Every structure is written in structure tokens, then in C-alpha cells.
């Protein structure tokens, strides 16, 4: 990445120094090493970063690897007011044996209740399955009976139609017989009139 501009100061309470402090520290170390810096001049950002880690430059690209990176990551993720890891203070409170026994007892009760619930559910499912099988068998028997009844009804209807056709054919001479009966009745009436 390119050399960044001046960075903002880190949050209060963090174990980090601002770039200005790093620059001043770099200037102080340079003076202690015998290098005289002009008054008011401060070290560049790259020289300030060299105090806190390794700086690699490739053309305009500058890479920085901080020293104690894991510790800095832990510090940046720790909430304010919480002591950093490794400070000697234990963050895990003591465990009450009585509370553990209560938890074990409650867990046993919950397990027993879950087992009973599963047994009840199993029995209920078996009853529902048996009822469903009975309903399906009844439906199947009803469908079969309905099919047989419909078949018998159709056959009876065809037989009735055939008998009606036979009756119609048998009733065809009836009009001629009725005419002959009327003629005979007229003849009888005339004979009665002659006999008087």
C-alpha cells in the first residue's frame, strides 16, 4: 500500500502510542545514536513505524508488520475496563458444587420427562396409525361395495329396458283387439235392438 497520511490517535486506554509520539521517540533515539536532527524536525511515518515493527518498501508500496501482533489484536478486542489476558486475574468464577448437583438433578428430571413425552408420542402415533389403517380399509370396502352395487344396478336397468321392449312388442296387437271388441259390442247392441 502507499504511504498513508497522518493517522488518528488510538482510543483512550489502549497500549499504543500515537504517530506523533512515535515520531518524537524516533527523533530521541536518533539523537541518542549521535544523529543530529534539525530542530522541530520529526521522523517520517515510515521511520516511526520501524519502531513498532518491520517496514518493507517495494517502490511506492510500503508493507508494515507489527511486533507483538497477537497481543495487539487481543488488546484491540478486549472491552474497556477488562484486564488483558495474562495479567494474572482469573476471569472464570469459582463453580458451586451444590449448583452443579442441582443442574445434574434437573437434567435428570428433564431427561425423564423427555423420555415419557417420547413414549406418549410413540403411543399416540401408533393409535393414529391404527385408526388411519382402519379408515383406509373401511373406505376400500365401501368403494368395492359401491362398485358392486353400481354394477348390479346397471345390469338391472338393462334387464328392465329389455323387459319393457318385450312388453311393448307384446302390446302391439292390443289396438286391433280393442277395435274388434268395439265392433262386437256394436253388433250385440244391434241384436238386442232387433230382439225387442
Number of domains into which the chain is organized: 2
Residue 43 included in any domain? yes
Q: pLDDT of 55-75, one tens digit each?
A: 787 888 877 777 877 777 777
pLDDT surpassing 90 at residue 24: no
Pick the residue with more confidence: 18 or 106? 106
Residue 196 included in any domain? no
Residue 96 included in any domain? no
According to the model, what pLDDT value does residue 59 have?
Answer: 81
According to the model, what pLDDT value does residue 12 have?
Answer: 40
**How many degrees, rounded to 5, is the angle at CA 26 between CA 21 and CA 30?**
150
What mean pLDDT comes out for the span 172-191? 89
Q: pLDDT of 83-137, one tens digit each?
A: 555 544 456 677 788 888 899 999 999 999 999 999 999 999 999 999 999 999 9
Residue-number span of the structural domain to which 41 is assigned? 19-77
**Which of residues 30, 51, 77 is at a domain's end?**
77
Residue 122 included in any domain? yes
According to the model, what pLDDT value does residue 41 have?
Answer: 40
Residue 95 included in any domain? no
Residue 54 included in any domain? yes
Tell me: do 117 and 73 sit in the same domain. no
Residue 102 included in any domain? no
Residue 90 included in any domain? no
Amino acid at each position: 500500500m502507499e504511504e498513508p497520511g497522518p493517522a488518528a490517535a488510538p482510543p483512550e486506554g489502549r497500549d499504543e502510542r500515537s504517530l506523533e509520539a512515535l515520531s518524537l521517540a524516533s527523533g530521541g533515539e536518533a539523537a541518542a545514536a549521535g544523529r543530529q536532527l534539525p530542530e522541530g524536525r520529526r521522523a517520517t511515518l515510515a521511520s516511526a513505524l520501524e519502531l513498532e515493527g518491520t517496514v518493507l518498501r517495494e517502490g511506492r508500496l510500503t508493507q508494515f508488520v507489527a511486533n507483538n501482533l497477537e497481543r495487539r489484536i487481543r488488546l484491540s478486542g478486549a472491552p474497556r475496563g477488562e484486564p488483558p489476558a495474562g495479567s494474572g486475574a482469573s476471569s472464570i468464577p469459582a463453580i458451586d458444587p451444590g449448583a452443579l448437583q442441582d443442574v445434574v438433578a434437573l437434567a435428570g428430571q428433564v431427561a425423564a420427562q423427555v423420555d415419557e413425552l417420547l413414549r406418549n408420542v410413540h403411543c399416540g402415533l401408533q393409535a393414529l396409525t391404527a385408526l388411519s389403517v382402519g379408515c383406509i380399509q373401511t373406505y376400500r370396502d365401501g368403494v368395492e361395495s359401491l362398485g358392486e352395487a353400481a354394477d348390479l344396478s346397471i345390469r338391472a336397468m338393462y334387464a328392465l329396458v329389455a323387459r319393457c321392449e318385450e312388453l311393448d312388442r307384446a302390446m302391439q296387437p292390443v289396438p286391433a283387439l280393442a277395435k274388434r271388441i268395439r265392433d262386437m259390442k256394436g253388433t250385440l247392441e244391434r241384436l238386442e235392438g232387433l230382439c225387442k
